Amino acid sequence: MTSSIEYQGNLRTVCIHLQSNNQIITDAPTDNHGKGEAFSPTDLVATALGTCMVTVMGIKANSIGIELEGTTAMVNKVMASNPRRIAKVEITITFPQNKWDDATKNALEKTALHCPVAKSLHPDLEQVVEFEFNHH
């Protein structure tokens, strides 16, 4: 088992990660009858894509001897209707330094774009990913 989910009423759930006992609360978004006081289920899907990309890049970075600490990902979810669904997820991944050669940058980008969440989402869901290698 991965998790347990309990409906709390008022369109809120409490989700427990069974291995660690960490929890996440979800709320329906304000544009769909909810309070919007926590991640919505679709927010979690979009956020999962960003966290998966950063995580697998971290694994790749460890394997090639570079550090990604301080790397950030900003996630924007775009909804569509009829049926209500996530139409697009836009992610900007920003690296705190730019001291790598093009081969290293390309390896990180390819790793991110082929993460398990990216490969699990429906092909109609547009994934727009921008990589920013900053100069410091």
- Architecture of 41-133 per CATH? 2-Layer Sandwich (3.30)
- What confidence score (pLDDT) does residue 135 get? 60
The confidence score (pLDDT) of residue 136 equals 53
Provide DSSP, 106-127: HHHHHHHHT-HHHHHS-TTSEE
- So where are the chain's domains? 3-32, 41-133
Sign, CA dihedral 32-34-39-41, equals negative
pLDDT attached to residue 64:
95
**pLDDT at residue number 99:** 85
- Supply the pLDDT for residue 101: 94
Tell me how far apart the alpha carbons of residues 68 and 60 are, in angstroms, rounded to a whole number. Answer: 10
Which stretches of the chain score pLDDT less than 70? 135-136
Q: How far apart are CA 60 and CA 66, in angstroms?
A: 9
